[in-house]
Each structure stands twice: as C-alpha cells, then as structure tokens.
C-alpha cells in the first residue's frame, strides 16, 4: 500500500455521473429487498444478525467499488 492508495481509501468519492448515482441506488435497493426477505424468513438469533451484518457489508463494498473507480475522462 502506498500513500496514493491510503488517500483513495479515505477520501470522499461523490457520484459524479447519473450512471454512478443510479448504480448506487440499484445496489441499495437490491440489498434492501434481500434484507427484508431475510428479516421475514430467518428466525431471530446470531445467524440472522450475522447474515444482516454481512449483507450490509456487501452493500458497503459494492458502493465503494462504484465510488472508488477512476473518474471518467471528459
């Protein structure tokens, strides 16, 4: 890891195009749909909590992948 990677990881990356904003929304929407299904289907307990936490992690990393990609050239 070099300084540029540290800066990339800890810098805010706003969605700079309509396509990226839509991708973020699609990720959140899909994860929410799955989260609601899991909430309804899974019994309460540590496993359900773990599944929900991991799904939240998926949403975070998926959105980070979108946000951290290099800006498109104009």
Residue at 48 is within a domain = yes
Residue at 58 is within a domain = yes
Residue at 64 is within a domain = yes
pTM reported for the whole predicted model: 0.83
pLDDT of amino acid 74? 45
Residue at 51 is within a domain = yes
- Segment-wise mean pLDDT, segments of 10 residues, the chain, 74 residues: 88 90 96 97 98 97 92 60
CA distance 40 to 21: 29
Residue at 52 is within a domain = yes
Range of the domain at 48: 43-68
Q: How far apart are the first and last CA of the chain?
A: 29
Residue at 33 is within a domain = no
Longest dimension (CA), the chain: 50
**Which two structure tokens, joined as six digits, stand for 43?**
């019994």
State how many domains the chain has.
1
**Which two structure tokens, joined as six digits, stand for 21?**
């904003």
Do 52 and 39 contact (CB within 8 A), yes or no?
yes
Residue at 36 is within a domain = no
**Which two structure tokens, joined as six digits, stand for 27?**
């990720």
């Amino acid at each position: 890891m070099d300084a540029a990677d540290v800066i990339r990881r800890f810098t805010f990356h706003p969605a700079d195009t309509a396509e990226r904003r839509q991708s973020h929304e699609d990720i959140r929407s899909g994860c929410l749909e799955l989260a609601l299904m899991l909430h309804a289907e899974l019994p309460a307990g540590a496993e359900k909590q773990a599944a929900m936490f991991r799904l939240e992690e998926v949403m975070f990393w998926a959105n980070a992948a979108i946000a951290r990609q290099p800006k498109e050239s104009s």
